[in-house]
Amino acid sequence: MERKRIYLSSPTMHGDEQRYVQEAFDTNWVAPLGPNVNAFEREMEEYTGCGHASALSSGTAAIHLSLKLLGVGRGDVVFVSDFTFSATCNPIVYEAATPVFIDAEPDTWNMSPEALERAFAKYPNPKAVICVHLYGTPAKLDEIMAICEKHNVPLIEDAAESLGSTYRGKHTGTYGKYGIYSFNGNKIITTSGGGMFVSQEEEATKRATFLATQARDPARHYQHSQIGYNYRMSNVTAGIGRGQLMHLEEHKARKKEIYAQYREAFADIPEITMNPLNPDGDANCWLSCMTIDGECKITPDMVMDTLQEVNAETRPIWKPMHLQPVFAAYDFIPYHEDGGSVGADIFARGLCLPSDIKNTPEDMELIIGTVRACFGK
């Protein structure tokens, strides 16, 4: 019999989700608006302290609307984390603007403040900065925000992977002018698919909701003075989100346990280093990742293949955007002044370990034993 599948990060439902979904059915609120949408927004506002929230169909939609609100358009430069998933920067190109990729730094794997500062020397007038909190680890927000303020450029926080992570006691996603969260299937909580735009500015949030509902002017007839989008979250989906949010802290605690367990289990293997956390924050540990010392003969592919043999799901580290064929035409500001890229190095040496909160102690033992065996332990 094939061994049971061990997942990277799959949805974990609790029953509360079904209750809210049932309510939507019972009241026939099966629509892109309704009480679950409103309540999910209020509950997210309360949980994160984000001020105001607009529930959307995806995190990507939230990034897109953030750029629309800032008036980003053709030819505008936007500084964006290079070491991320393509959803972070695709919306820049939707608007025919120009992404400039900013390398990661080794301490947190997030946008390097030094590279960001150097980018301003080359492009003095970017329209926005989009910074990611990769794998749930908060970026160096103090430094990044100081640079953005100095140059008077708005910051958008892509907190798609870091819902529940805090930096200096405040939630990631609530520091920038705008923040975004994702509820895609593999994220720390999920609505199957969905996202949220958040901001301390009530007017901006209202405008995001307006653009997300086809930019319909307040008139009895269908009147439009602007181009809009169909980006709103549905009332059924929001019901799943409400049920999930009740369990977010529990998910985070379990993710942190998984990370701690891996770190402890590999502590005696000098070739393995776990992904960094930020001492100024409290990470949700969405995915536990490891890198292998560059001198070591064991490659990430070898470890992933071996874990596949015990039916454990892994994933390579995100491939940096400046290495993606589709973004080859855009500029990249590396961490090292001689051109060396931190993101490319981590990509070459890293992998994501199974980080599913349903992993049993036996699953964890199997994964850990399998990885250790790769290193002759």
Ligand X SMILES: *Cc1c(COP(=O)(O)O)cnc(C)c1O
Site for ligand X in 259-318 (CB under 6 A): none
- Choose between 183 and 262: whose C-beta lies nearer to ligand X: 183
Answer yes or no whether residue 87 interacts with ligand X by CB under 6 A. Answer: yes
The three-state DSSP-derived secondary structure of 224-263 is: CCCCCCECECCHHHHHHHHHHHCCHHHHHHHHHHHHHHHH
- Choose between 85 and 347: whose C-beta lies nearer to ligand X: 85
Answer yes or no whether residue 161 interacts with ligand X by CB under 6 A. Answer: yes
- The conformation of residue 302, written as its DSSP 8-state character, comes to H
- Choose between 7 and 85: whose C-beta lies nearer to ligand X: 85
Site for ligand X in 124-153 (CB under 6 A): 132
- Choose between 11 and 195: whose C-beta lies nearer to ligand X: 195
Answer yes or no whether residue 182 interacts with ligand X by CB under 6 A. Answer: yes
Answer yes or no whether residue 179 interacts with ligand X by CB under 6 A. Answer: no
Task: Tell me which residue has tokens 């405040």.
Answer: 170
| Token couple for 133 | 């909190």
Answer yes or no whether residue 195 interacts with ligand X by CB under 6 A. Answer: yes
The CA distance from 351 to 271, in Å, is 13
Span interacting with ligand X, options 85-93, 167-175, 301-309, 364-372, rule CB under 6 A: 85-93
Q: How far is the CB of 59 from ligand X (least distance, A)?
A: 3
- Choose between 357 and 364: whose C-beta lies nearer to ligand X: 357
Answer yes or no whether residue 60 interacts with ligand X by CB under 6 A. Answer: yes
Instruction: Report the candidate in 138, 180, 136 with the shortest Cα–Cα distance to residue 155.
Output: 180
Q: Do the beta carbons of residue 288 and residue 275 sit within 8 Å? A: yes
Computed from CA positions of residues 67, 69, 73, 79, in that sequence, does the dihedral angle turn out positive or negative? negative
Q: Do the beta carbons of residue 68 and residue 95 sit within 8 Å? A: yes
The CA distance from 41 to 195, in Å, is 11
- The conformation of residue 87, written as its DSSP 8-state character, comes to G
Among 88, 288, 314, 359, binds ligand X (CB under 6 A): 88
The CA distance from 127 to 106, in Å, is 26
Cβ-based neighbour number of residue 273 at 10 Å: 16
- Choose between 134 and 307: whose C-beta lies nearer to ligand X: 134
Answer yes or no whether residue 110 interacts with ligand X by CB under 6 A. Answer: no
Answer yes or no whether residue 363 interacts with ligand X by CB under 6 A. Answer: no
Answer yes or no whether residue 85 interacts with ligand X by CB under 6 A. Answer: yes
- Residues in contact with ligand X, counted by CB under 6 A, come to a total of 14
Which residues form the interface with ligand X (CB under 6 A)?
58-60, 84-85, 87-88, 132, 158, 160-161, 182, 184, 195
